[in-house]
Amino acid sequence: MFFRWNWLRPVLTAPIVPTLGPIHPDGLTVSVFEDILRAADTGVFLPYDKDRRWGGEKDEKVLREDVVHQPEHTLIPTLTRRGRGTVKVFAYGPHGSVVKEAAELAAKLAATHDVVNARVVRPLSPSTTHPRGTRIQLKDFTVGTCPNPGDLVRPVTAWPAAVQETFAPFAEAMAGDGLAFLHARMQAGRCGPVLAAAVDGRVVGAIGPMEIQPDAVGRPQLLPQYFAVLPETRGQGLGRVLWRAAMHWGQTHGAAYQLLQTEVGGTSDRLCQAEGLASLGFTHTTAV
């Protein structure tokens, strides 16, 4: 075993794991960190990796030989060749000096691996004052009921054919939010259902795919979705209706929870906070 839990656990101020993203706090164990090291050289997905649903090989991997693991801080660097390439160093530790050390390591490894981007990812506790970056939020389906928000939202395939035909131009218009990619997956029959809101006979918003996968300890997790509403129809509550429809789908299909990452102060962040989600902490990413 490489990681010492009595060193690592005290500095896990937010439940974020390199290459995997947010993990439910109850599943945040030393085994998960050992798993990402074992997967580093295989190019395959861990069984509970949320990205395995997209197929292919795992692009991001831990640079295991460059991990720094000490009693008061741990630095875990990762590498992805996507785009022009990125090295990220996850800096776990209570002192500001850990960020400086992480930045130096990120710059060195970016040069070593001939990639353009070097970044430091700093997990921050839920009690952080004036946080920046990304908030990690938890929707617990075992507490309370997620009501059906009504007939405004249906699976794309449940709308009349004329409405279904408007999904393609909607997806293209929202390509920047990942909807064009999602539409391609839908056409290939390689994803779960997508929920869509329609107004006046055309799709104006969507969330999906709706998929559930066991987490590291076997609990059913509703996986993250692409989520978008046409700009000209925003401000009418459609985003909230879509989100509630997704939560209703997750609860009625047996999910125990969902983890979300939202930009602090952004529209989705405000929505999730208003809907009562629990804040588990933050991640702040800086370029080196």
Q: What is the pLDDT of residues 166-199, one digit of tens each?
A: 999 999 999 999 999 999 999 999 999 999 999 9
Beta-carbon contacts of 112 under 8 Å, excluding residues fewer than 6 positions away, are: none
> Does the domain at residues 143-255 carry the CATH identifier 1.10.510.10?
no
Residue 149: how many other CB atoms lie within 10 Å: 18
Please tell me the predicted confidence (pLDDT) of residue 163. 98
Please tell me the predicted confidence (pLDDT) of residue 95. 75
Please tell me the predicted confidence (pLDDT) of residue 57. 86
**φ, ψ for residue 152, nearest 5 deg:** -65, -25
Does the structure show a pLDDT above 90 at 143? Answer: yes
Residue 283 bridge partners (DSSP): 123, 134
On average, the pLDDT of the chain sits at 95
Tokens describing residue 88: 């990220």
Segment 19-25 mean pLDDT: 97
**φ, ψ for residue 118, nearest 5 deg:** -130, 130
Sign of CA dihedral 262, 267, 270, 275: negative
Tokens describing residue 194: 């997508």
Share of the chain above pLDDT 70, in %: 100
Please tell me the predicted confidence (pLDDT) of residue 43. 80
In angstroms, rounded to a whole number, what is the distance separating the alpha carbons of residues 141 and 246?
A: 12
Share of the chain above pLDDT 90, in %: 93
CA angle 239, 242, 248 (to 5 degrees): 140
CA-wise closest residue to 116 among 90, 89, 86, 88 = 86
Question: Band of the pLDDT at 62, cuts 50, 70, 90?
Answer: very high
At 124-141, the pLDDT tens digits run: 999 999 999 999 999 999
Helix spans in the chain (H): 5-8, 30-38, 97-112, 161-164, 167-173, 179-187, 238-252, 267-274
Residue 69 bridge partners (DSSP): 74
Please tell me the predicted confidence (pLDDT) of residue 224. 95
Beta-carbon contacts of 160 under 8 Å, excluding residues fewer than 6 positions away, are: none
Domain boundaries, the chain: 5-134, 143-255
Question: Band of the pLDDT at 1, cuts 50, 70, 90?
Answer: confident
Does the structure show a pLDDT above 90 at 56? Answer: no
Question: Band of the pLDDT at 42, cuts 50, 70, 90?
Answer: confident
In angstroms, rounded to a whole number, what is the distance separating the alpha carbons of residues 29 and 51?
A: 20
pTM, rounded to two decimals: 0.93
At 242-268, the pLDDT tens digits run: 999 999 999 999 999 999 999 999 989
CA-wise closest residue to 65 among 41, 93, 84, 97 = 41
Q: Which residues of 121-133 are buried (b: 16+ CB within 10 A; e: fewer)?
A: bbbbeeebeebeb
The letter for the amino acid at 208 is G
Does the structure show a pLDDT above 80 at 147? Answer: yes
Does the structure show a pLDDT above 90 at 25? Answer: yes
Please tell me the predicted confidence (pLDDT) of residue 44. 86
